[in-house]
Chains A and B, each alone.
Chain A
Amino acid sequence: MKQAALTDEMARRRKAIYNGLRACLQQDDAVKATDIWMQEFSTKPLYALQPFLSRIIEELNISVARGNIQQHILSSLLNESSQQADVPHRGNLPEFKQEKQRAPQQVNASHKVFTYFMDYFLAALFKSDSASELSIKVYVFDNAHEVGISGKNLDKVKKWLSENGQVSLISEMTVQQMQGLFHLFYVSSCEYIGPVNTDKLIAESVKIVEQLPESAEFSVKKIF
C-alpha cells in the first residue's frame, strides 16, 4: 500500500520535472534530463534543484538560464498533474523503483515529513516572493535560538538555509524544535506575503505531503 503510494508520488514528480524542463528545453534534452533526475536525484529533497540543474547544464550543454529552468520546474511541481503531458519512454520508471527501494532509511518518518513539508512550503513561499527570500532566511537564523535550536543544530540550520536545502536538514531535531523552526518561517511569511497567503501555502503543502507514505506514521500537522 505504502509502496504503491510512493510510486504514484514519484511518477507525479517525474512527470512534473519533465513538463517543467520541456517548457524551456527541446524534447530530447528534456527526456535525457528527466532520466538523469530519476537515476540520481529522485531520492534527494524535491526542491533541492541546484545540483540537478548544475549537472544537466554541464552534461547536456544547455544554454538556457538556470533560473529560468528552475522557475519552470517549480511551477510545474506545484501544478495539477492531470493537466501535464506524459513523459515519453516510460520504460525508465521501474529503474526508479529499484533505486528507491535501495535508498537508505537514515532518518525517521518525522524528519522526512518535516523535510518534505519544508521543501514544498519554502519553494512555494520563495516563488511567491523571491525578493524577500534572504530577509526571511536571516530572520529565521537570527531567531532560531529562541525556539530552542542551538549548537550543532543551529549550524545545520544555517547550512540548510544558505545552501537552499541541498543538504539534509537536521536529523536530531525534536518535534518541538521543528514546530519552532516552522513557526519562525510562519511569522516571517505572514510579514512578507500576509497571513492569508501563508495559510494557503501551508494548506497546499500539507495536501501534498499527506500523500507521502511517511505521513501515515507521522502527521504533518504535528509540526504546526
Chain B
Amino acid sequence: MKYYVIALSLLPQVVMADEAQLKTEIDTVWIVAAAALVFFMQAGFALLESGMSRSKNAVNVVMKNYMDVCIGSIIFWLVGYGLMFGDNASGFMGASHFIPQSLSNMEYSFLFFQTMFAATAVTIASGAMAERTRYHAYLLGALLVSGIIYPVYGSWVWGSYYDGQGWLAELGFIDFAGSTVVHSIGGWVALAGIIVLGPRLGKFTNAGKPRDIHGHNLTLVALGGLILWLGWFGFNGGSTVAADTSIGLIVLNTHLSAAAGALGAIAMLLLTRQPVLLTHSINGSIGGLVGITAGCATMEPLYAMLTGFIAGMVVVMGVRLLELLKLDDVVGAVAVHGFAGAWGTMAAGIFLKDNMFDMQQIFVQFIGVAAGFLWAFPVALLMYFIIDKTLGLRASSLDEQRGLDYSEHYEIGYPEFQTELVHKGKE
C-alpha cells in the first residue's frame, strides 16, 4: 500500500517529463519538416528564374540556384550561424558558435532550419542578375552574402538565441519570418548587383525605352511560383520554431496574402493599362508572400489580405520604376523581395494586432527597413564593384550572345530544340 501511494505520487512528474519530451520531439519534427519545405523553395526559385530567362541561359540560372544552396549552407555553418545567432553582447553581431559542433539536438534542428533561410536570402540575387553574370564571380558574391551580409543584419533582429540581443530587436522591431531579414536584404543585394552589371545587350533602346525579353518557358515560371507558395508554409509556419497552435493563423495569413498579392498585381496592371501577364501575376503572389512574412503571426487575416494586395501592387510599380531607372532585373527580384519586403515590414507595424496604427511601432519598423537597406545595399555594391574590377562580374558580350549555358558551362539546356542559335565552335 505504501509503495502504491509513493508510485501514484510520482506519476504526475513522470507524465510531465514524458509530455516535455514529446513536445520536444514534435517540435523537432515540425522544424525539420518546415526546413525541408524551405529547401524545396530552391526548386521553385530555380524553375521560376530559368523559365523567365532565355533558353540559352537556362542551365546557368539553375546552376546558380543549385550552387547557392551548396555554398550558402556550408558558409552559413562555418561563420554565418555564429555571426547571426552567437553571443551578441554588442547587439551588432554574434561572436560565438562558429563552425558549430556538439550542440543540443534542438540546436541542430534550429541550425538546419536557419541554414535553409540563409540559402534563400542568397539565391534572390541570382534571378535579377541572370543572363549576363560570370558564374564564378557570382558564386564569390553568394559566398560573401551568406557569410557576412545576411547574418550580420540577421543578428540585429534575431540575434538573441544565446546571450545578448540585437539592437533592432531591443527597439521592438517586428520581423517574424524575415520580410526584411531574408527578403529585403536579398533584394538590396540584387539591386546592387544589377547596378554594377548594367543591363543585358539591347534591353533598352537608345531612347531608354525598355524592350521585352521574354523568358523561354512560362509553364516553368508558374510551377516555380506554386512551389514557392507551398514552401512558404514552411518558411513562415516553421518560424515559430515549435509545433505551436499559432501555426494555423500563420499559414492562413500566408496563403491569403499570396492570393491577394496576385489580385493586387492584376489590379495595378489594369489600372495602369498594362497587359495582364502571367509573370506579373505570379510575381504579385510572391510579393504577397514576401510582404506577409514579417507580420504573419501578428496580424488578423483581413489585414494579411490587405498587406498582400498592396504588396502585389508594389511589385508591379517596382518593376516599372526599375525600368524607368534603366535597371535590368530579369525576374523582378528587387521589386518582389526588396520593395514588397520593405512594405510588408512596415505593414507588420501598421496592422499589428491589438495595437494598430501605433506611430511608435511604425517608426521602429521604418528604422529596421532603413537599416537593412543602409547595411546591405552599400556593402553589396562595394562587394560587386570589387569583384567586377578584379575577377570581372559581367560576362563578355560574345558570351552573352552565345548564351551562358555554352560559354560558362559548355552544356545546353535543350539540345534537341536549340538547333538554330547554338554556337558550334568546337565539336
Residues of A within 8 A of B (CB): 175, 179, 183, 186-187, 189-196, 198-199, 202-203, 206-207, 219, 221-222, 224
Contacts and interface: CB of A to CB of B under 8 A. Distances in A.
B201 interface: yes
A203 B425 contact: no
A179 B396 CA distance: 14
Given A186-B401, A195-B202, A203 B420 contact: yes
Contacts of B398: 179, 183
A157 B425 CA distance: 22
Contacts of A195: 200-203, 211, 213
Tell me if B's interface is mostly helix, strand, loop or mixed: loop
Interface in B179-214: 200-203, 205-206, 211-214
A179 B425 contact: yes
Contacts of B423: 221-222, 224
A204 B423 CA distance: 15
Given A196-B214, A224-B402, A187 B201 contact: yes
Contacts of B206: 191-192
A134 B246 CA distance: 67
B421 interface: yes
B397 interface: yes
A121 B235 CA distance: 50
A183 B401 contact: yes
B425 A222 contact: yes
14 contacts: A186-B397, A186-B401, A192-B206, A195-B200, A195-B201, A195-B203, A196-B212, A198-B202, A202-B420, A203-B420, A207-B420, A222-B424, A222-B425, A224-B401
Interface of B: 54, 200-203, 205-206, 211-214, 397-398, 401-402, 420-425
B202 A194 contact: yes
Contacts of B422: 221, 224
Nearest to A206: B420
Given A196-B212, A224-B402, 19 more contacts: A183-B397, A186-B397, A187-B401, A191-B206, A195-B202, A195-B203, A195-B211, A195-B213, A196-B214, A198-B202, A203-B420, A203-B421, A206-B420, A207-B420, A219-B424, A221-B424, A222-B423, A224-B421, A224-B425
- The list of the 10 closest CB pairs from A to B, nearest first, reads A190-B202, A221-B424, A203-B420, A190-B201, A224-B423, A195-B202, A194-B211, A194-B202, A186-B401, A206-B420
A199 B401 CA distance: 9
A190 B401 CA distance: 10
Nearest to A193: B202
A132 to B, nearest CB: 9
Contacts of A194: 202, 205, 211, 213
Given A194-B211, A222-B425, A187 B397 contact: yes
A196 B213 contact: yes
Contact of A191 (B54, B202, B212): B202
Contacts of B397: 183, 186-187
A4 B62 CA distance: 45
Nearest to B200: A195
B211 A196 contact: yes
A189 B211 CA distance: 13
A199 B420 CA distance: 9
A187 B397 CA distance: 7
B337 to A, nearest CB: 25
A191 B201 contact: yes
Contacts of A196: 211-214
A52 to B, nearest CB: 30
Contacts of A190: 201-202
Give the most central of A183, A196, A222, A224: most B CB within 10 Å.
Answer: A224
Contacts of B214: 196
Contacts of A222: 423-425
B29 to A, nearest CB: 49
A191 to B, nearest CB: 6
Contacts of B54: 199
Contacts of B201: 187, 190-191, 195
